[in-house]
């Protein structure tokens, strides 16, 4: 788990303290059943129960001692090592895990039990929240979570993580709008062990889709590409392909991946002459974690540091405000993180610090029956700040923890150290404000870079051809070649059509073959008559008949006279 485990434990105590104030004066012991779904394997991600479980157990033990005789807290870990191996599996299976827990505990326990879900993982918010609305149960998420699409009078899922993804996605949107960058190239590393990058990509994509849908037109054009740092295909080859496509489609890239891979991307872009100021690279750095490779830095000591310094000038990095980062890197938090890692039995220092006025207000407004209403419990957290040892916790109207983010750049004139360019202001609804100018340090001659070059992404716009004789000649030659090619293609097409028609009419005969030679019937009759006459003369000479008076002789004479 990230070094905010003390906050997680303190959060549970704050919740219990709220419940305690709601039932002041009640004598019977109230049973609070807490479900903690998740996965155990700590090698996958730091939202695993292997990191967070000890903090939850310590908080429950502390609460049972502190509120003995008033509450009886029980904690149930909901896991399934066979089906749930990482955060993606957990999101898909969380509905079944939580449903099985609720109905099984409903049979085993009486109705007078306060049921709460507290999990470090990202549950299926939309589907689970629909069931929670019927059960009257609320949930608290202590690590990255996605936005629920299920609308309720009050949110039943509260996000208390430093890395709540919705506000981070909104931060990127605000930056894009501020500089009129509307064509975005999103690259996400799905091979990184920190699943927060994949979930953040989903959140950002959904935010862009919602904006376009609400406007009923395409305000943002988004190109999405995936890379996988763990694939057999060399990561360097993947980066070259991505950058080549980026060059012809956009000028603004958002890269979601670990710091070491971001550095590799920028070094590759530098070799391709894509860090000269015309291209902008935006990235997000999660809260400082124990794995140094996840942090963003140009300095690695591998011989490429000088090149990386120059390449990092084109980078704009989103991360927590320094005040929040410093709290998380304090010796106290570092020691606590080590305790969680080793699952040692060292003392777990947890304090509850709450505003007494707020608690009195809750005590007077709500009765005992409200304990079993998740909406009442969740509303007690909305639009409020909770002071604590590490940092103040502010929960907005949507049930999401909000912290101030900054946008930093690496200043070449200040030893390439991070300098805050934009900062969110809590008192102004977390809007971005310019802290200092970046134009002098930005590579190239123009800040901010244009969303699209004047000549287009591929130098294809006609306006750029004027005054350039070489381009004009090339364009005319290309146009002529296209015309000639079209003519040839048309001729070939016509010939192929004719051949095809001829092939289909193989059975057709020439008309001359169908003509029958005409013969005159009279000539044939004449031949027959002549033969008959000859035969008659021969016969007559033998029998000595007088042919002149016979009818047959008359017929022969008429026939001969006709010719």
Per residue in 115-160, pLDDT (tens digit) is: 888 888 777 777 888 888 888 888 888 775 556 666 666 667 777 7
pLDDT at 280: 97
Q: Indicate whether 289 and 429 sit together in one domain.
A: yes
> For tokens 């002041």, what's the residue?
24
Q: Indicate whether 110 and 60 sit together in one domain.
A: yes
Q: Indicate whether 298 and 425 sit together in one domain.
A: yes
Q: 472 in a domain, yes or no?
A: no
Range in 92-106, 261-275, 436-450 with the lowest mean pLDDT: 92-106
pLDDT beyond 90 at 53: no
pLDDT beyond 90 at 243: yes
**The CATH number of the domain where 93 resides is what?**
3.40.50.2300
Which of residues 352 and 205 earns the better pLDDT score? 205
Q: Indicate whether 70 and 172 sit together in one domain.
A: no
Q: 17 in a domain, yes or no?
A: no
Q: 415 in a domain, yes or no?
A: yes
Range in 70-79, 318-327, 335-344, 370-379 with the lowest mean pLDDT: 335-344
- Domain end: 353, 382, 401, which one? 401
Q: Residues 416-437: pLDDT tens digits?
A: 899 999 999 888 888 899 998 8
The total number of residues written for the chain in this structure: 563
Q: Indicate whether 316 and 430 sit together in one domain.
A: yes
State the chain's mean pLDDT as an integer: 75
Q: Is the peptide bond before 329 cis (omega within 30 degrees of 0)?
A: no
pLDDT beyond 80 at 220: yes
Average pLDDT, integer, range 247-255: 95
Given a contact cutoff of 8 angstroms between Cβ atoms, the answer to whether 318 and 283 are in contact is: yes
pLDDT band, very low/low/confident/very high, at 406 (cuts 50, 70, 90): very high
Alpha helices by DSSP H, 216-302 = 235-247, 259-271
pLDDT beyond 80 at 385: no
Average pLDDT, integer, range 538-561: 54
Given a contact cutoff of 8 angstroms between Cβ atoms, the answer to whether 49 and 79 are in contact is: yes
pLDDT beyond 80 at 448: yes
Q: Indicate whether 155 and 171 sit together in one domain.
A: no
Average pLDDT, integer, range 169-184: 95
Q: Tell me the pTM.
A: 0.65
Q: Indicate whether 75 and 196 sit together in one domain.
A: no
Domain count, the chain: 2
Q: Which class for 488: exposed (0-12), middle (13-18), buried (19 or more C-beta within 10 A)?
A: exposed
Round to the nearest angstrom and report the end-to-end CA distance of the chain. 127
Distance CA 450, CA 252 (A): 9
Structure tokens at 192: 């990184």
pLDDT at 421: 94
Distance CA 378, CA 356 (A): 18
Phi, psi dihedral angles at 395 (to 5 degrees): -110, 125
Structure tokens at 531: 């033969």
Q: 520 in a domain, yes or no?
A: no
Rg (the chain; Cα; Å):
44
Q: Residues 493-533: pLDDT tens digits?
A: 888 877 777 666 655 555 555 555 555 555 555 666 666 56
Which of residues 281 and 380 earns the better pLDDT score? 281
Q: Indicate whether 140 and 175 sit together in one domain.
A: no
Q: 455 in a domain, yes or no?
A: no
Q: 521 in a domain, yes or no?
A: no
- Domain end: 378, 412, 434, which one? 434
pLDDT beyond 80 at 563: no
Q: Indicate whether 169 and 157 sit together in one domain.
A: no
Q: Indicate whether 127 and 239 sit together in one domain.
A: no
Structure tokens at 360: 């009195």
Average pLDDT, integer, range 9-32: 60
Q: Indicate whether 418 and 274 sit together in one domain.
A: yes
- Domain end: 379, 414, 434, which one? 434
User: Which segment, 175-179, 325-329, 464-468, 540-544, is predicted with the most confidence on average?
Assistant: 175-179
Domain membership of residue 131 as a residue range: 26-161+331-401
Q: Indicate whether 169 and 144 sit together in one domain.
A: no
pLDDT at 560: 57
């Amino acid at each position: 788990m990230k070094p905010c485990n003390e906050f997680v434990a303190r959060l549970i105590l704050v919740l219990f303290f709220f419940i305690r104030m709601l039932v002041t004066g009640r004598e019977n012991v109230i049973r609070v059943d807490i479900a903690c779904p998740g996965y155990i394997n700590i090698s996958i991600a730091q939202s695993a129960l292997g990191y967070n479980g000890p903090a939850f157990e310590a908080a429950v033990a502390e609460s049972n001692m502190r509120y003995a005789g008033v509450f009886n807290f029980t904690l149930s870990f909901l896991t399934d090592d066979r089906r749930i191996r990482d955060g993606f599996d957990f999101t898909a299976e969380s509905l079944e895990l939580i449903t099985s827990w609720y109905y099984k505990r409903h049979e085993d326990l009486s109705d007078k039990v306060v049921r709460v879900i507290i999990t470090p993982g990202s549950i299926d918010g939309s589907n689970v929240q629909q069931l929670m609305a019927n059960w009257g149960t609320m949930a608290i998420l202590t690590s990255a979570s996605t936005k629920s699409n299920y609308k309720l009078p009050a949110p039943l899922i509260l996000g208390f993580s430093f890395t709540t993804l919705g506000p981070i996605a909104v931060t990127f949107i605000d930056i894009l709008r501020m500089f009129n960058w509307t064509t975005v190239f999103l690259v996400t590393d799905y091979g990184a062990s920190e699943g927060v990058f994949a979930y953040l990509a989903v959140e950002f994509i959904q935010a862009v889709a919602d904006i376009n849908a609400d406007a009923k037109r395409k305000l943002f054009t988004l190109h999405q590409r995936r890379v996988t740092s763990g694939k057999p295909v060399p990561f360097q080859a993947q980066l070259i392909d991505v950058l080549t496509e980026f060059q012809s489609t956009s000028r603004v890239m958002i890269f979601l991946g670990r710091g070491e891979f971001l550095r590799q991307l920028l070094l590759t872009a530098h070799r391709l002459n894509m860090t000269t100021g015309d291209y902008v690279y935006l990235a997000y750095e999660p809260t400082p974690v124990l794995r140094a490779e996840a942090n963003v830095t140009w300095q690695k000591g591998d011989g490429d540091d000088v090149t990386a310094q120059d390449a990092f000038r084109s980078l704009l990095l989103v991360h927590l405000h320094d005040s929040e980062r410093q709290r998380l890197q304090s010796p106290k938090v570092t020691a606590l993180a080590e305790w969680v890692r080793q699952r040692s039995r060292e003392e777990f220092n947890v304090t509850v610090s709450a505003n007494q006025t707020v608690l009195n207000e809750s005590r007077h407004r709500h009765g005992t029956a409200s304990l079993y209403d998740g909406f009442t419990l969740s509303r007690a957290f909305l639009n409020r700040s909770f002071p604590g040892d590490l940092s103040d916790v502010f929960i907005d109207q949507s049930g999401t923890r909000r912290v101030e983010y900054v946008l930093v750049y690496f200043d070449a004139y200040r030893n390439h150290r991070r300098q805050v360019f934009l900062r969110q202001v809590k008192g102004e609804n977390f809007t971005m404000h310019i802290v200092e100018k970046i134009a002098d340090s930005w590579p190239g001659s123009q800040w901010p870079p244009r969303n699209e070059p004047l000549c287009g992404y591929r130098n294809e716009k006609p306006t750029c051809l004027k005054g350039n004789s070489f381009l004009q000649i090339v364009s005319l030659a290309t146009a002529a070649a296209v015309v000639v090619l079209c003519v040839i293609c048309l001729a070939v097409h016509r010939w192929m059509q004719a051949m095809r028609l001829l092939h289909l009419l193989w059975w057709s005969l020439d008309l001359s073959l169908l003509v029958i030679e005409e013969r005159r019937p009279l000539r044939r009759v004449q031949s027959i008559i002549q033969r008959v006459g000859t035969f008659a003369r021969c016969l007559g000479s033998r029998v000595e008949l007088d042919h002149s008076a016979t009818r047959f002789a008359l017929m022969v004479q008429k026939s001969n006279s006709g010719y």
